[in-house]
Homo-oligomer: A and B are copies of this chain.
Amino acid sequence: MCELLGMSANVPTDICFSFAGLMRRGGGSGPHRDGWGVAFYEGKGVRCFHDPNPCHDSAIAKLVESYPIKSENVICHIRQANVGGVSLANTHPFTRELWGQYWAFVHNGQLTDFTPKTGQFSAVGDTDSEALFCHLLNTLTTRFSEPPSTTELIEILSQACQPLLDNGVCNIMLSNGDWLYTLCTSKLHWITRRAPFGAAHLSDVEVSIDFTEHTTPADVVTVIATEPLTNNERWHEYERGEWRLWREGEMIIRGSLQHRV
């Protein structure tokens, strides 16, 4: 199973602490040796780092861990390949431009009986994850010629994800730089940190941080991850089929896909 990490914050915030924990799982404390990647939004821009090599000994991962890139939306993925070989083209996050925004996508899972919708977006690599991303974007462009309201958009997006609940494992993080959409069909956890801030300790490596030294009382930062990254805080577990839309650190809409029985 791949590992996902996302962040939504109301002030540009670096993700070095969480990333330090996650990267140990990339071939270090975890089995995910098949590459990793991260997308940082800064305003309308996005910068991605992709590496098809294991992240626990990646020079690029060491840079990302030590160089504080301040962002309001981040998504990150470390890969345990199942569909599609280990290559740069198959390394998440995948990004596309739609309606003058960069959209970035990471996915954990395997899809069965899935026929992607064709349209203006095509996959470059051969993962089912990238095919799913293009399917979702093609669904949106077929339905909307102009950017709809966020509420409308998320409704159609969630409807398009509906069949995925019963066709395999499909945990998703998708951002357009404005919001962060997260869907859990098997495993995802979240934590929102806000004042009064305290200290946190990573589960995977002997690293602690005192957030009071790095924050102001108005800061709100939510971190979403496959497994909790710290062992002294209370993380919340997504329900199976639950989706949550985050903006500026706060959950603004949530819902649940329904099982077909």
Chain A residues with CB under 8 Å of chain B are: 42-52, 59-60, 63, 67, 87-91, 95-97, 99-102, 120-125
Known: A45-B87, A45-B88. A124 touches B96 (CB 8 A): no
Q: Are B47 and A50 in contact (CB under 8 A)?
A: yes
Residues in B with CB closer than 8 Å to A59 are 63, 67
Residues in B with CB closer than 8 Å to A63 are 59-60, 63
Could you write out 25 A-B pairs with CB less than 8 Å apart? A42-B52, A42-B87, A42-B88, A43-B87, A43-B88, A44-B87, A44-B89, A44-B124, A45-B88, A45-B90, A45-B125, A46-B88, A47-B48, A47-B51, A48-B48, A59-B63, A60-B63, A60-B67, A63-B63, A96-B97, A97-B122, A97-B124, A100-B123, A100-B124, A101-B124
Residues in B with CB closer than 8 Å to A45 are 50, 52, 87-91, 124-125
Could you tell me the distance in whole angstroms from the C-beta of A92 to the nearest C-beta in chain B?
11
Q: Are A99 and B122 in contact (CB under 8 A)?
A: yes
Residues in B with CB closer than 8 Å to A96 are 96-97
Could you tell me the distance in whole angstroms from the C-beta of A71 to the nearest C-beta in chain B?
10
Could you tell me the distance in whole angstroms from the C-beta of A122 to the nearest C-beta in chain B?
4
Q: How far is the CA of A121 from the CA of B120 in the complex (A)?
A: 10
| Nearest chain B residue, comparing its CB with the CB of A67 | B59
Q: How far is the CA of A208 from the CA of B128 in the complex (A)?
A: 45
| Nearest chain B residue, comparing its CB with the CB of A98 | B122
- Supply 9 further A-B pairs (C-beta < 8 A) apart from A42-B88, A47-B48, A97-B121: A44-B89, A44-B124, A44-B125, A45-B88, A45-B90, A45-B91, A47-B51, A59-B67, A100-B123
